[in-house]
Amino acid sequence: MAKKLMKGNEAIGEAAIAAGAPHYFAYPITPQSEVAEYLCWRIPEVGGVFVQAESEVAVGNMLFGAAATGMRVFTTSSSPGISLMQEAISYMAGAQLPVVLVNIMRGGPGLGGILPAQSDYNQAVKGGGHGDYKTIVLAPASVQEAVDLMILGFDLADKYRNPVMLIGDGMIGQMMESVEFPEKYRDPVSPEGKDWALTGAKGRKARITKSLFLDPEKLEINSIELDRKYKRVEAEEIRFEKYKVSNKNKILIVAYGSMARICQTVIDELEEEGISVGLFRPITLYPFPGQAIHIEAVKANIKTVLVVEMSMGQMIEDVDRYLKGKKPIEFYGRTGGIVPSPNEVKDKIRTILKSKKAESK
Amino acid sequence: MLKQKEVVMAGFGGQGVMTVGQLLAYTAMDEGKQVVWIPSYGPEMRGGTANCTVVVSDVRIGSPIINNPQSACVFNRPSLDKFGPLIRAGGLLLINSSLIDVTSGRDDIEELLVPVNDIAIKLGNPKVANMVMLGAYNGATGIVSFDTLLKMLNVKMGHKKELLDINHRAIAEGRKIGEKFRTKAGTK
């Protein structure tokens, strides 16, 4: 299919259609309202359902109900809106329902601001709602990748019967890039073959979808079942990308999403100055590619691992968890809607290298 | 040739800076280049400032945020004050001299003054000032071919056929100024 120039927000909407998921529940919030603006005319063209709910709490519960029917359903929102959905996300995880949630993050906490941030990392990868559960978390670094990961997200949600969250930031949502969609769009995915879907019990035994298990033995069994599923996700679904990682690197940057793109420029520009830096970019934030980071980080040429985030430092805890103190970890981050410039990150790297030099003297 | 080119388009909301930025991005994409168009966004109101950055590259584009762009087209004074100092040494600054009566004061960049509003009014529609600027910018830099640019204009503005002609003429007026500037700069 021909390339199109599209805003990230619009491309995310179109990607859901391509994935056979024309059922959308949402409430507008900056910086992702263009998704709803786009889908309000696009969804009727393909015969799906678009409900603009009265609040994000309602969105969450509409998703719960619609997901239980076995159709592919999704929402898009931004940080405060995603917080309001946490109860339903926990319920859907408990009831093992597939759903795709998009968080185009803005600065927080609270109402915060409307400019790009990555400060919902912990909320996304550590659960967010109550109970022992995980959401699979995908972090695109370009508009094309947002499209590809949306489609993958629906497949993973169905495969594992679990909520999948795509997290971008205001920059991914607002920027336009060239993008290609699959040649062939999926037909709206039907509940056929989903032996758990509530499709009307005529002629078969009734099915039950719930997250309430008052018998502790049964609740524990549910949690053990979920845990087994997460182990499988951790074994099979880790995705990442390495950029200019080599045995000449002095520093290994770990960054995701748009922050990783900025670091790519940092690496290209430092290379011209003769400073070799590599980038490790997690694409799945849960499951986290910690082992793969460990393998790169412990190599003898790496002096320091630098984690760069648009937050006060959240993913750094996961990097730390896997490195177990085997390499020094430094952090650089800006937040509140401020996007670190390549120059700031370069300065941070120069400072690190200078202090390393002083140490070795 | 540089592998990557960047331009900031900046002005008041309503001057069409986002539109010309997008048209440039569409055109470059049609020519097989990597492109990113990124707007400034915020709690803005009509009459507030607006700007977008367009990055055109032969290779994968890293940061869409550019600290020091190679060039900028400024449509009003606040935009000159904001972006004039940020342009990379050796870069190019196009100034809308209809509304801005000063220059950047820098001697390490090239400046081209284009009275885009006056030209647009003379053509018969003040709204095409943005296209005059785009014509001048592309005339001076040659980032895309004018053939592709006009083709994409027809595609993107096909639903407003009555406005196509004046937009074509606006780009042509700007182009003359830009190409004259480039020839002169080339003979220096």
A351 near B CB under 8 A: no
Of B62, B64, B65, the CB nearest to A268: B62
Which pLDDT score is estimated for B116? 98
The alpha carbon of residue B94 is apart from the nearest alpha carbon of chain A, in Å, by 24
Q: Are the beta carbons of B64 and A261 separated by less than 8 Å? A: yes
Task: Enumerate the residues of chain B whose CB falls inside 8 A of the CB of residue A170.
Answer: 41
The CATH number fitting domain A241-360, selected from 3.90.550.10, 3.40.50.920, 3.10.129.10, 3.50.50.60: 3.40.50.920
Q: Which residues of A4-28 are buried (b: 16+ CB within 10 A; e: fewer)?
A: bbbbbbbbbbbbbbbbbbbbbbbbe
Q: Are the beta carbons of A177 and B35 separated by less than 8 Å? A: yes
The C-alpha atoms of residue A154 and residue A159 are separated, in whole angstroms, by 9
- ipTM > 0.85, yes or no: yes
Of B35, B43, B67, the CB nearest to A178: B35
Between A3 and B129, name the one with better pLDDT: B129
Task: Enumerate the residues of chain B whose CB falls inside 8 A of the CB of residue A3.
Answer: 29
The C-alpha atoms of residue A312 and residue A290 are separated, in whole angstroms, by 20
Residues 6+ apart with CB under 8 A from A8: A104, A143, A146, A168, A172, A173, A174, A175, A176, A177
Whether pLDDT at B1 is above 80? no
Does this chain's domain A4-236 share its CATH topology with A241-360?
A: yes
The CATH fold of domain A4-236: Rossmann fold (3.40.50)
Q: What HEC string does A160-226 produce?
A: HCCEEEEEEEHHHHHCEEEECCCCCCCCCCCCCCCCCCCCCCCCCCCCCCCCCCCCHHHHHHHHHHH
Which pLDDT score is estimated for A141? 98
Average pLDDT value for residue range B52-79: 94
Domain ranges of chain A: 4-236, 241-360
Identify the CATH number of the domain in which residue B47 sits: 3.40.920.10
| Closest to B114 in 3D by CA, of B124, B128, B106 | B128
Whether pLDDT at B44 is above 70? no
Task: Enumerate the residues of chain A whose CB falls inside 8 A of the CB of residue B42.
Answer: 114-115
Angle (nearest 5°) at CA A241 between A238 and A244: 150
Residues of chain A with pLDDT under 50: none
Which pLDDT score is estimated for B46? 63
- CA torsion through residues A135, A136, A139, A143, sign: negative
What is the span of the domain harbouring residue B59? Answer: 4-187
Do B18 and A157 touch, CB atoms closer than 8 A?
no
A170 near B CB under 8 A: yes
Average pLDDT value for residue range B151-177: 94
The C-alpha atoms of residue A38 and residue A49 are separated, in whole angstroms, by 14
- Segment 205-264 of chain A within 8 Å of chain B by CB: 258, 261-264
Q: Would you call B29 helix, strand, or coil by DSSP?
A: helix
Which pLDDT score is estimated for B187? 58
Number of A:B CB contacts under 8 A? 65
Chain B nearest-CA residue for A172 = B38
Beta-sheet pairing, A176-179 with A240-243? unpaired
Confidence of residue B41 (pLDDT cuts 50, 70, 90): confident
The C-alpha atoms of residue A292 and residue A255 are separated, in whole angstroms, by 14
pTM over 0.90: yes
Mean pLDDT taken over chain B:
93
Q: Are the beta carbons of B64 and A264 separated by less than 8 Å? A: no
The residues pairing with A51 across neighbouring beta strands, listed in sequence order, are A25
Do A339 and A286 touch, CB atoms closer than 8 A?
no
The C-alpha atoms of residue A258 and residue A170 are separated, in whole angstroms, by 9
Confidence of residue B47 (pLDDT cuts 50, 70, 90): low
